[in-house]
Chain A
Amino acid sequence: NAGVTQTPKFQVLKTGQSMTLQCAQDMNHNSMYWYRQDPGMGLRLIYYSASEGTTDKGEVPNGYNVSRLNKREFSLRLESAAPSQTSVYFCASSGREGRMSYEQYFGPGTRLTVT
């Protein structure tokens, strides 16, 4: 039981390049989330998926797209990376569909630098 896994762990991009961050969970959770973590700002929600086939914007969605590929996998895509997207990205999952009533389980994070 690996919990929530993320790939890659580290990535350096040039401005304008694209990439996809991968996330998978093996806990049979319905809901999955993408956050970014910046110094002094805590975690901010980018997108979430309350159930397979649905996605919704969070607090800071601009510049990102997501795909809920199946119940296990939730990917985050940067179409044209910008230096402002330099951050640590965390994927999380939780067991309750819709309203986030239960705790979220986090992956180890992806540290992204955009030059």
Chain B
Amino acid sequence: AQSVTQPDIHITVSEGASLELRCNYSYGATPYLFWYVQSPGQGLQLLLKYFSGDTLVQGIKGFEAEFKRSQSSFNLRKPSVHWSDAAEYFCAVGPNNNNDMRFGAGTRLTVKP
């Protein structure tokens, strides 16, 4: 069955530092991969997606992610974190047998001043 693992429940970084959020997936075929961000009390907003082609994808707000098939990973990166990046981040993979996406449990990012 398709699944997504986000190994880090909570990460704290200093403002201006680089960021990498990890995502590992289990999927039988070529996956479609997504990163979403959720600010407190809000819905989910798409940061970026990978369907095919270039394995390094650029998203909004200065985020990027790299698809590594050999490692079954799709890690999210940002070179310099801003205080406004504090949020919860979800990795997702699809489609699965129910035509839905499977979400990871999320990583909560705290940004120290």
Chain A interface (Cβ < 8 Å from any Cβ of B)? 4, 31, 33, 40-45, 48, 50, 56-59, 90, 92, 98-101, 103-109
Decide: B46 and A103 in contact? CB cutoff 8 A: yes
Q: Chain B interface residue count: which class? A: 20 to 34
- Chain B residue numbers with a CB within 8 Å of A41 are 105
- Chain A residue numbers with a CB within 8 Å of B94 are 100
**Chain A residue at minimum C-beta to C-beta distance from B99:** A100
**Chain A residue at minimum C-beta to C-beta distance from B105:** A42
Query: Would you call the interface of chain B mostly helix, strand, loop, or mixed?
Result: loop
Decide: A48 and B43 in contact? CB cutoff 8 A: no
A33 to B94, CA, bound (A): 14
Cβ-neighbour of A108 out of B42, B51, B99, B105 (below 8 A): B42
A103 to B95, CA, bound (A): 11
